[in-house]
């Protein structure tokens, strides 16, 4: 009886050099993505720090994202209950079919939130709102380092909490 066990450790006949080149290319792409992510995080922290200073809020929100979002909601005059609703909608997005409702609600909330923040710092155009929704860290940085000053609570009109677009009573 002749047992000839010939194990091939070349991953099914693939050239190991090709595999290592592919792995190196994948690592290079991941490194570039990580560097871009770190750069965006640094831009966001700097912009948020300066933005909260302009609004006379403690800049701890620049380092703790939910706190910063809450503070920006206060500055723009939005109802803080929006944060709890956002968490609920995010939970809905994991459920099939209800996820569409959750995602649509989160998109709506992002537009209302960004519109209120932009108006509170003197940016009235729709282009800046679109920029805040799609490229949030960059446009927060632009608001933070720009010459725009905090002009007061100017919430966007919405049909859930403040229908006339006025700041909620404190």
Does 153 fall in a domain? no
Residue 78: phi and psi, rounded to 5, are: -80, 155
What span, in angstroms and rounded, lies between the C-alpha atoms of 115 and 126?
A: 8
Does 160 fall in a domain? no
The domain of 27 spans 16-145
The tens place of each residue's pLDDT in the chain, 170 residues long, gives 667 666 656 555 556 666 678 888 999 999 999 999 999 999 999 999 999 999 899 999 899 988 988 898 888 888 778 888 888 888 877 888 888 888 888 888 888 889 889 989 988 888 999 999 999 999 999 999 999 899 888 777 766 655 554 455 55
What span, in angstroms and rounded, lies between the C-alpha atoms of 26 and 162?
A: 49
Per the structure, the count of domains in the chain is 1
Does 168 fall in a domain? no
CA-based nearest residue to 163, from 100, 96, 64, 79? 79
Collapsing DSSP to helix, strand or coil, 15 comes out as coil
Does 51 fall in a domain? yes
Its pTM stands at 0.75
Does 63 fall in a domain? yes
């Amino acid at each position: 009886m002749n047992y000839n066990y010939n194990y091939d450790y070349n991953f099914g006949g693939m050239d190991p050099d090709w595999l290592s080149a592919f792995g190196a290319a994948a690592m290079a792409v991941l490194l570039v993505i990580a560097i871009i992510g770190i750069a965006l995080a640094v831009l966001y922290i700097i912009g948020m720090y300066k933005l909260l200073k302009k609004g006379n809020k403690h800049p701890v929100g620049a380092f703790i994202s939910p706190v910063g979002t809450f503070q920006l909601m206060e500055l723009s005059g939005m109802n803080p209950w929006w944060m709890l609703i956002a968490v609920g909608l995010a939970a809905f997005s994991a459920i099939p079919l209800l996820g569409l409702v959750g995602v649509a609600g989160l998109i709506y909330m992002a537009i209302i939130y960004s519109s209120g923040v932009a108006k509170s710092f003197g940016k009235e155009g729709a282009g800046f709102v679109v920029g805040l929704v799609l490229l949030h860290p960059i446009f927060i940085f632009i608001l933070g380092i720009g010459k725009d000053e905090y002009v007061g609570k100017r919430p966007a009109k919405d049909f859930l909490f403040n229908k006339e677009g006025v700041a909620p009573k404190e």
